Structure 1
Amino acid sequence: MDDAAVNPAVEEKRRPRFVLASASPARLQTLRDAGVEPEVIVSGVDEDHVTAESPGELARTLATLKARAVVATLDDHATVLGCDSVLEFDGVAYGKPGTADVARERLRSMRGRSGILHTGHCVFDTATRRELRELASTTVHFADLTDDEIDAYVETGEPLVVAGSFTVDGLGGPFVTGIEGDYHNVVGVSLPLLRRMLAEIGIPWPALWQQAAPFKYDDAEAARYDETRGGTERAQAAAAAVQSLLPVGGRVVELAVGTGIVAAELVALGNLVHGVDLSTAMLRHAKVRLPGHVLAADATQLPFADYRCDAVVAVWLLHLLDDSDPVLAEVARVLRPGGVFITTTEKSETSRYAAGRTPADHRSQDALPHLIARAAQYGLALDGATTFPGPPKGTVPPATYPLIRFRRSLS
């Protein structure tokens, strides 16, 4: 394929793959509230056996270890954020207490006094091999809690699993009388600091907003999506058909992975599958089925390097598009020479209308003649086809679905 066939505007706007190397729900929610939907990969670093010369340096060291541990597991470029928080009190580092007795003792020593919450931040960008290590520190003033308040708080379990035995954004909020510094840093990630760190490696903060943009489905629609689309039975049929057209081994990327129901069946058949989707509601389900292998991304701006994928799969995607060319161009870019693109085709106008969508006012983007002609512009030639059965009788879509395979040219 001629490299000039790839749209340069798409290349310039490709979104960064942003990974959060932390299991903290508070950090994830803070990023989500700021318009960022990161891919979460837990580092597995054993925090209990790491030491440093000061509480602040301990937080920064742990953040770095987390980021590096996740980077070591990646097989594609990404920008990874590692964070860790430590409360410094009387020069001592307080991490997670782990037990009720320790939490109770700490809270009693902290009441009516102040401590410093340190959060270490490590941003590792694999494309540039740059690693930035920073520390944000915020002074926290605690209320003069009664013994009864401390006992009741400890019984909730919350202080046992958070640094310093308290939260400012949860049940512990009423026990914090004030802070000096960045509020979000106390929650677990300093957004202003992270913005500056990302800017230093060439990633503007608004570029991450696009990853979190909602698409079509809300949480309720995503929750019932599988059962309204034929459930596991149809997903297994679709996966078996895709499997018959896949090369043996290699990396498979599913576009518009949705809840991951088809991708999970492909994994069960022995494939390594990565999924991308624009809908954060759908991705919450997909992440359960494909932990560590899904991310928010646009099919026209995939976060993969050139020629890195052996197969790209799109089941029930192209009929939703107004223009399939940007997707075909991007598929051609990421496919290795000889790699394959497998997609459903020929979504009928009747099905569009029954699904609540207006009939197409131009040629359907998954019509076979249209796809063959457009795909050829990007070095993709039709070389295989099969079908698979639709949902049970009585539902709207046709009884069988055509599935076709394009192969990328060797040049």
Structure 2
Amino acid sequence: MGTKFWGYRRPNGDVGCRNHLLILSGTIYANSVCERVANTITGAVPITHHLGRCQTKSDLRQTFWTLVGMGQNPNVGAVVVIDHFREEGCTSEEIAHEIAKTGKPVEIVNIREANGAIEATAQATRKAMYLMREISKQRREEADISELLFGLNCGTSDTTSGLSSNVALGACSDRIYREGGRSILAEFPELMGAEDWLTARCVTPEVAQKFLDYIKQYEERILATGEDIRGSQPTGDNIVGGISTIEEKSLGGAKKGGSQPIQDVLWILEKPKKDPGLYLMYTPGHGSESITAIAAAGSQLLVFSTGGGHTINHPLMPTIKITGNINSWNRMSDTVDLDLSGILAGKVSIEEAGDMIFNEVVEVLNGKLTKCEILKENTGFAIHRIGLSI
């Protein structure tokens, strides 16, 4: 029998490991109202951002589907969408319509139609209160680990990452695959140089070519700005940590995906198929943009491997942070959850470290809070931009 966990079953069959009430801003001008409402309601989580206005059509669609993905995430039990006016293509009604397809309750408030911020705050607070009363009645039900969509990411990587924590995370991902689960590996600029290794694992030549086409497209986007990605990757903190080239960083970063078959290559925000295995997602290396896209695709939990230590945490998707660097653990143990420095010390095998991560994943799925959840370090939400503001 596969590993079980206890989660919140949604009307569409998804299983969440949290039961958040999401207070979702449709536009920058609704942010303050969202934050006031969330600060009033126990258990509410605000998602705010600086977009939703004066964007090109393609960029506005990116914002729209990111916000929809937040509301559709299995860890969300109900949603209040707050809008300022009406930006066609990203209105509160349009956002709520897509989220409601999951079967979860959604309410909307428009600040102008409510006659200003004070009345809008009152209306949204009242709606949020009654939604919270409803979802607070929900109880966890038994679910199988095969229902997990496992997020993989890394940041502030150093020489220990590709030798220890990333490899152990790959072992954990492989175990989830053996039990019928799926994983998402993103950050395309940090896969450049690992193409041969990854394409050899793609289930079909078409999937392999899709990956190569997306890698080429990403590099062309960077070159079109007049810059070369090799001037930004590796990043400054990577270089301080001993990583010398983008290829070295990519070969270490790709280890997070383990050895399982690559089922498909996803566009940013795209939801994967149900087939077990690894899915690659076209996202930037920017950590918050990357994990936001993974959460929008439906991931309930993400493990973030960090060489130098990190505070990143997605507001809706528990973000377990691991490190194989003993110095980083000693400095950042308030926000890093798991010390894997025993790998390089010769005290813990890769397989044992993978099991340590897996056990932590199951505990967090069952309700154990990560350190950054407790501290409300919700630094991990950002929307990837396509075009210029207009």
Q: TM-score range by the shorter chain?
A: 0.3 to 0.5
- Specify the structure having the higher radius of gyration (Cα): 1
More strand per residue: 1 or 2? 1
Structure with bigger RCO (C-alpha 8 Å, 6+ apart): 2
Using structure 2 for the length normalisation, give the TM-score. Answer: 0.34
